């Protein structure tokens, strides 16, 4: 009997703790008073495939929305809800995706959503709004060729800049990032080609043999989670030379070359060989084959991995303020013949992510006003704060002497730290109040008319000035005065800007999809085997096996489709350039 009593008491204790925890105060929307011109408070269901938070939006952004539109946003996020496409399938089977829909559009999804009657024709409510007047071309371009006439969606990241300007702000898609303290210690050796990086990495490994916690370091460490059509990391080394994938094809940024990845002299296979050579020299972490992304992130945090291809992987995890003050950190080096790929601005909008109003929405007028606001400079500052814009003027930033600067609060809170927000701005924690929509209406690198600087604050002159740690200054010296990676690449003429296009991959027949699934499984597996081959002979035999197997499966049919898509995409890039030139005349 006693044991039973003890377990009952423990259960009760657990229940009590749970209840008490639930009573904590957070800035729920009921506490915020609105003062907008709309009478009724409505809850808007936002079906958002880009969001990483599910639930009612709270905090400072919620207050803004409530003040202006008397709405609260209930975010439905497939990423968080889990089950992949499950939520989309069940909600569309029920006929109602949501009131506001932010979704990706590829593979025929957008056309099917229109055909299935899930989206509302916004033309009547949108015609008088600013967003339509300013971005009519982009909107009409998005909605042409659909089963039904009308305006069903507005593309994201619409830019007024030339498609030849990089949309990524300060960092390109890929660059050769490495441990700067080590690189400095070995005397900044010059690297002419990618292969030259191998002896440099070897020296780096000798220079920094142990991580911050005492573990052995490796120059390169890989992971397997994100492999899709091919081995992801190898593909990214190919992007260093200006190529971007589309299915099984690597397309050059300017559309001048299309490579078949299983071809023996494609950049993809060259990258695999590069990794193979690195592995032969002992530069690749042997745990790469079995670790997943989480484990690798921990290694980056600790400093066990010395190079990286992505800024947000190496730099974000390792470059804390303390380490930068010590001169330690990961910064981009320069390889003479490289031409890193970067996406250009989307003058016709980025067709891959769009916003739409659901066909069952009750108050389309209000929703259209909300969308219109999102595409305005003020809306952009607030909505895209999640992606690096400034946030509410007066709270996190202000204009001082005609320049946009962070306030003291801004330095503490931005980009999204756990700092309490003053009650009059909405209360709660700053990071909880950030917009969960994760949607970029306009290009972040476009100029905000309110500040005359780009929307993204990391490009503000006042912010760039603050990059003055010993690490930063050392790097800037090497970069001949450039303050950001993209600036450096532009200086050297090495940036491959692929003109932004609103191209969406069209739907493919299910046969091709199935075939693609089979081929990519083979390609990924054999790629890994090639990287970790014991010797050249094994490398070649794995390559041969890959080529033979995929051709046996019917690879050529998929390749045909991909080549066509690649050529179409290249053509739209050219059209985007021409359109922009025409409009600027």
Contacting other proteins within 284-323 (CB under 8 A): 286-287, 289-291, 293-295, 297-298, 301-302, 310-312, 315-317, 320
Cβ 395 to other proteins shortest distance, Å: 17
Q: Which parts of 477-536 interact with other proteins (CB under 8 A)?
A: 507, 510-511, 513-514, 516-518, 520-521, 524-529, 532
Residue 259 vs 385, nearer CB to other proteins: 385
The contact mask relative to other proteins for 127-166 (x = CB under 8 A, - = no) is ----------------------------------------
Stretch that binds other proteins, among 131-139, 198-206, 241-249, 437-445 (CB under 8 A): 437-445
- Listed ranges 195-203, 358-366, 372-380, 547-555: which one lies at the site for other proteins (CB under 8 A): 547-555
Please identify, among the stretches 35-43, 358-366, 475-483, 550-558, the one whose residues bind other proteins according to the rule CB under 8 A: 550-558
Within 10 A of 364 (CB to CB), how many other CB atoms are there?
18
- Could you tell me which of 284, 316, 281, 324 has the C-alpha nearest to residue 300? 316
Q: Which is nearer to other proteins, 191 or 543 (CB)?
A: 543
* Among 371, 441, 359, 354, CA closest to 103: 354
State the number of binding residues for other proteins (CB under 8 A).
112
Check residue 19 for interaction with other proteins (CB under 8 A). Answer: yes
The whole-angstrom separation of Cα 126 and Cα 432 is 31
Cβ count within 10 A of residue 120: 22
Confirm if 246 and 505 have CB atoms less than 8 A apart.
yes
Report if residue 325 touches other proteins, rule: CB under 8 A.
Answer: no
Identify any residues that bridge with 246 across adjacent strands, giving them in sequence order: 249
Q: What are phi and psi of 552, to 5 degrees?
A: -65, -30
What is the torsion angle, in degrees rounded to the nearest 10, for the CA atoms of residue 59, residue 61, residue 67 and residue 71? -90
Q: Does 330 bind other proteins (CB under 8 A)?
A: no
Contacts of 420 (CB under 8 A, 6+ apart): 427, 428, 429, 430
Tell me the closest approach of the beta carbon of residue 145 to other proteins, in angstroms.
Answer: 17
Q: Token pair for residue 99?
A: 């009131």
Quote the radius of gyration of the chain (alpha carbons, Å). 26
Asked if residue 4 binds other proteins (CB under 8 A), the reply is yes
Contacts of 434 (CB under 8 A, 6+ apart): 59, 61, 385, 386, 416
Q: Which is nearer to other proteins, 51 or 395 (CB)?
A: 51
Choice from 417, 452, 473, 544 touching other proteins (CB under 8 A): 417
Sign of CA dihedral 363, 368, 371, 377: negative
21 binding other proteins? (CB under 8 A): yes
Q: Which of 393, 400, 500 is nearest to 440 (CA)?
A: 500
Which CB, 19 or 37, lies closer to other proteins? 19
Task: Specify the residue, 64 or 523, whose C-beta has the smaller distance to other proteins.
Answer: 523
Letters for 443-482 (x = contact with other proteins by CB under 8 A, - = none) are: -x-----------xxx------------------------
Q: Which is nearer to other proteins, 34 or 108 (CB)?
A: 108
Interface with other proteins by CB under 8 A: which range of 167-175, 195-203, 367-375, 557-565?
Answer: 167-175
Closest to other proteins by CB, 21 or 537: 21
Give CA–CA dist 237/239, Å, rounded.
Answer: 5
Among 552, 556, 578, 583, binds other proteins (CB under 8 A): 552
- The DSSP secondary-structure symbol of 217 reads P
Let me know how long the chain is: 585
Nearest alpha carbon to residue 446 among 547, 345, 295: 345
- For the bound state, the minimum distance from the C-beta of residue 192 to other proteins, rounded and expressed in Å, comes to 28
Check: CB of residue 307 under 8 Å from CB of residue 201: yes
Nearer Cβ to other proteins, position 396 or 549? Answer: 549
Binding span for other proteins by CB under 8 A among 51-59, 261-269, 357-365, 465-473: 51-59
Taking the complex as a whole, the smallest distance from the CB of residue 187 to other proteins amounts, in Å, to 30
Distance CA 150, CA 373 (A): 21
Give the footprint of other proteins on residues 376-395 (CB under 8 A). Answer: 386-388
**What DSSP string describes 340-362?**
-EEEB-BTT-EEEEEEEEBTT-S
For other proteins, the closer CB: 36 or 518:
518
Binding mask 82-121 for other proteins (x = CB under 8 A): xxxxxxxxxxxxx--x----------xx--xx-xx-x---
**Please, which of residues 335-364 interact with other proteins by CB under 8 A?**
343
Residue nearer to other proteins on the CB measure, 191 or 489: 489
3-class secondary structure per residue, 504-564: CCCCCCHHHHHHHHHHHHHHHHHHHHHHCCCCHHHHHHHHHHHHHHHHHHCHHHHHHHHHH
Q: Which is nearer to other proteins, 68 or 273 (CB)?
A: 273
């Amino acid at each position: 009997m006693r044991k039973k009593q003890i377990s009952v008491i423990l259960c009760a204790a657990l229940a009590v703790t749970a209840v008490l925890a639930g009573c904590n105060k957070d800035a729920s929307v009921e506490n915020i008073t609105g003062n907008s011109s709309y009478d009724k408070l409505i809850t808007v269901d936002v079906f958002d495939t880009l969001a990483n938070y599910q639930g009612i939006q709270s905090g400072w952004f919620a207050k803004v929305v409530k003040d202006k539109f008397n709405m609260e946003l209930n975010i439905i996020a497939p990423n968080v809800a889990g089950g992949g496409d499950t939520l989309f399938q069940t909600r569309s089977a029920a006929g109602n995706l949501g009131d506001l829909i932010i979704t990706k559009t590829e593979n025929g999804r957008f056309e099917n959503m229109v055909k299935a009657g899930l989206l509302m024709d916004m033309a009547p409510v949108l015609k008088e709004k600013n967003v339509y007047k300013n971005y009519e071309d982009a909107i009409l371009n998005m909605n042409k060729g659909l089963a039904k006439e009308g305006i069903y969606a507005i593309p994201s990241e619409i830019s007024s800049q030339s498609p030849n300007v990089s949309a990524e702000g300060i960092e390109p898609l890929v660059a050769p990032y490495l441990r700067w303290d080590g690189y400095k210690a070995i005397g900044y050796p010059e690297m002419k080609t990618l292969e030259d990086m191998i002896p440099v990495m070897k020296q780096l490994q000798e220079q920094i043999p142990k991580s911050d916690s005492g573990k052995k370091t490796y120059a390169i460490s890989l992971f397997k989670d994100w492999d899709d059509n091919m081995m992801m990391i190898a593909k990214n080394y190919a992007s260093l030379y200006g190529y971007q994938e589309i299915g099984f094809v690597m397309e050059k940024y300017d559309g001048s070359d299309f490579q078949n990845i299983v071809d023996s002299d494609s950049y993809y296979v060259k990258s695999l060989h590069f990794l193979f050579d690195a592995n032969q020299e002992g530069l690749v972490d042997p745990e790469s084959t079995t670790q997943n992304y989480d484990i690798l992130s921990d290694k980056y945090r600790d400093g066990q991995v010395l190079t990286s291809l992505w800024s947000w992987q190496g730099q974000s995890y390792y470059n804390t303020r303390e380490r930068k003050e010590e001169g330690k950190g990961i910064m981009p080096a320069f390889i003479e013949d490289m031409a890193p790929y970067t996406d250009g601005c989307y003058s016709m909008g980025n067709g891959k992510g769009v916003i739409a109003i659901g066909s069952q929405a009750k108050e389309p007028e209000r929703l259209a006003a909300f969308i219109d606001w999102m595409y305005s400079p003020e809306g952009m500052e607030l909505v895209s704060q999640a992606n690096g814009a400034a946030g509410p003027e007066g709270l996190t930033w202000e204009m001082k002497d005609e320049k946009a600067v962070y306030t003291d609060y801004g330095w503490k809170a931005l980009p999204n730290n756990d700092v309490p927000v003053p009650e009059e701005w909405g209360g709660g924690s700053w990071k909880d109040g950030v917009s969960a929509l994760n949607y970029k209406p306009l290009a972040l690198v476009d100029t905000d008319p309110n500040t005359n600087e780009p929307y993204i604050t990391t490009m503000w002159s006042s912010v760039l000035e603050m990059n003055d740690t010993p690490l930063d200054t050392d790097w800037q010296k090497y970069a001949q005065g450039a303050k950001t990676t993209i600036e450096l690449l532009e200086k050297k003429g090495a940036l491959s800007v692929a003109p932004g296009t609103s191209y969406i991959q069209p739907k493919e027949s299910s046969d091709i999809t199935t075939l693609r699934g089979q081929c990519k499984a083979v390609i990924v597996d054999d790629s890994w085997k090639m990287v970790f081959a014991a010797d050249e002979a094994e490398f070649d035999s794995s390559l041969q096996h890959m080529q033979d197997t995929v051709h046996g499966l019917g690879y050529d049919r998929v390749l045909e489709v991909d080549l066509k898509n690649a050529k179409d995409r290249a053509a739209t890039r050219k059209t985007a350039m021409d359109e922009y030139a025409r409009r600027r005349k």
